Chains A and B, each alone.
Chain A
């Protein structure tokens, strides 16, 4: 178990706006059982954020069991042999702490925010439920009802959420990123206790987990506590899920939906893109900078052309989503204004993409985007919880600390040509889905 203190690389442009004192102190170690740990020091307040990230998400679910990763996340708040059912969150609260958990396509994470002198307590409890979960049959039924209600709230009551779900399913031909994290209702409604336990036994183990502790602690304290609480847990022979592979995409897809409860029509277009994990070299950074050049504020290309210089859209933008183990996504969206039709808005966005590919970007655009990315990093140091989340997510999808350490150098290295190469690779119509969501007038059929 070696200790290593990471220092952010500061070079060039960065040094001018960022004094060396601002860098968070970050260290890492690995327990003998394979559990990885990262410590982010922040001594401003006597509190700590403690997170355990499991490298398993909805994209790892067995066929026919969509929703099980998230359902298990709910059941993890039941009990163990030592913590009676329903007591977990109450014990955290009685110690002045807050807790919660979240599930994504690539990971499931559990966290507590609490006074730093209670770190040992929450570690002890989190370590306990890593292998000792006990769930009763009746708890499974009522918790499944809770998750069905969660699905009602998140998805089934909102036409745009229901549309997004279908849209994602169309974007992926074979990979489970196309399934909703909360699960398809018909499958979710049939999940049972054994499904949850099977998933738990298989994936919840120290050698499939990353510990992230941010706050008023020293790396030495965290390592000692981690060895005490997580250290004794035996690693397991991991049998990671085999994920579906996307075949070559040779047909562009279009989805159109109308619903009486839609009030603002909307256009969307999403391309599969390299992620921070699958991208080569600085591809992901290039795409991230491109999304800022296209959409990072009203001075950028899409909002400026579609909402300021013309009257085509109420809103318009683009985004890059690259923090994933497998494919990333690059998307465009907009809401047509007044008499503008979706056809016209789509035409304008297509024109902008064509113009980008034809005429490229300027050095000045790239420099502004880089400067903004670096400044926003400084502001992000203010929140220990979001720092912990960034590190947890990045490490769990498979990025190395070295990669994070070199983030700025990689960003600095991106050239205009890198951005254009990435754009040409991504903006291929066959690898995209286009969506139109429209209002259906009440009382009109068809």
Chain B
């Protein structure tokens, strides 16, 4: 009772190039609507007007984030961000929450490794008062003693949970060794550090967090440039310009090795990787295409084929490029039962080496391009997703027409590009591997081979 005929695959594939072109043409129409808005006061934002739903999605990101934590005060920027909604202006935390609820709006604050970000969503008719609340929060947070103690207890509880979470344990050790104690990227927060945070520490770091000079803004929804511009001035106009950040590259660990951290769990959680390239490197796009085949794409990658599909060793195995602001990383992860960790790692290292030596086949490159160019539109099917993209694109210094030109960059990648990039980036012997669990026949050592030796 098959509903397919024998020619199904070849017929569909034969039509593919034509339909891809059609899909891209339509996408271009819909996406080149990004406008650069410059407010009367000189604040720049990228805007996509989308009138079909009466809502506005807004994101702003300030460079810095955790990188602003002074040595010995790791986690303080995140602590400050968490405290903003605990009271600002003439509102305490309850009044702040009630004011947002009255408007049916939400505003959230958070820090990442190198940014402090604020997200907002609002019904379009309430955009103006919602921006006013954001302005109050950014410019007049209380950081009162009661809230500091309450949030400190939550943070300590989170830290205690992380101490028992295999993924957090692995990540802390991996980044710690990769960047070392001299960089903020290699240092992490502890309960002792959090217990010692003072209000003055918070005020000192927060003074640098929302800086006009380090700001990128993305807006999507039921709002136009004429309305948005003055609101940007009212909300961000009185922020300080801020000081330029030190963005010099950070030194990374360059030698491979295995670190085993014993935890009483049936499955080992593994994090692996080595240094790589920055986002602005001209090889980034070819590297991205290559990684899609190596370990980037769901059920379709080489790592998944070898580790999961052929050998049933893991539910999830993956690799990814992690170009943080100050250093590029090529990373990956796998979780597998304690008796089979060594076998999984051998297969992963083999695939790393096979790609470094042989690159991709023409068929694989073609498949990767088809996926990456076709799936590009999937990133832009909601206002919230587009708003986040507008911010990350500006943070990465991408041009405003990047949505339209990016697929051409992917299509231009050749097999030679892949071979060159694979040789340059993939260094199987330099993989630094952290294993959390009770792996059998695997111990800490300077190389995977030594770690697996009897």
Contact = CB atoms under 8 A, between A and B. Distances in A.
Contacts of B414: none
A45 B50 CA distance: 11
B290 to A, nearest CB: 15
B50 to A, nearest CB: 6
Contact of A384 (B50, B94, B377, B382): B382
Interface residues of B, number: 79
Q: Which of A83, A149, A153, A307 has the most CB of B within 10 A?
A: A149
Interface stretch (B158-166, B202-210, B273-281): B158-166
Contact of A379 (B12, B55, B97, B378): B55
A152 B371 contact: no
Contacts of B98: 299
B23 A314 contact: no
Nearest to B154: A314
Contacts of B14: none
A221 interface: no
A93 interface: yes
Interface string B411-433: 00000000000000000000000
Interface in A131-166: 131-132, 141-150, 152-153, 156-157
B157 interface: yes
Contacts of B313: 145, 149
A175 interface: no
Interface in A90-141: 90-91, 93-100, 113-115, 117-118, 121, 124-125, 127-128, 131-132, 141
Contact of B4 (A77, A128, A153, A382): A128
Contact of B23 (A115, A127, A157): A115
A335 B381 CA distance: 38
Nearest to B380: A45
A298 interface: yes
Contacts of A308: 93-94, 150
A96 B23 contact: yes
A379 B4 contact: no
A19 interface: yes
Interface residues of A, number: 87
Contacts of A91: 9, 12
A154 to B, nearest CB: 8
B337 interface: yes
Given A152-B337, A314-B157, A382-B383, A229 B101 contact: no
Contacts of A338: 153
B266 A157 contact: yes
A378 B54 contact: yes
A124 B3 contact: yes
B117 interface: no
Contacts of A131: 1
A398 to B, nearest CB: 27
B370 interface: yes
A152 B154 contact: no
Nearest to B315: A150
Contact of A382 (B57, B267, B308): B57
A378 B124 CA distance: 11
B32 interface: no
Interface stretch (B38-46, B292-300, B440-448): B292-300
B4 to A, nearest CB: 4
A191 to B, nearest CB: 14
A46 B12 contact: no
Interface stretch (A52-60, A260-268, A273-281, A321-329): A260-268
A183 interface: no
Interface string A312-353: 001100000000000000000001011000000000000000
Contacts of B310: 142
Interface stretch (A238-246, A248-256, A367-375, A402-410): A367-375
B213 interface: no
Nearest to B335: A153
Interface in B358-395: 367, 370-378, 380-384
Interface string A61-95: 00000000000000001001111001001110111
A238 B423 CA distance: 57
Interface in B1-24: 1-4, 6, 8-9, 12-13, 16, 19-20, 22-23
B27 A46 contact: yes
A375 B123 contact: yes
Nearest to B316: A153
Interface string B120-150: 0101010000000000000000000000001
Given A96-B20, A304-B94, A337 B8 contact: no
Given A82-B2, A90-B367, A234-B1, A261 B164 contact: yes
B267 A152 contact: yes
A407 B240 CA distance: 48
A314 B153 CA distance: 7
Contacts of A82: 2, 4, 6, 8-9
Contact of A263 (B161, B263, B376): B161
A286 interface: no
A89 B299 contact: yes
Contacts of A94: 13, 16, 367, 370-371
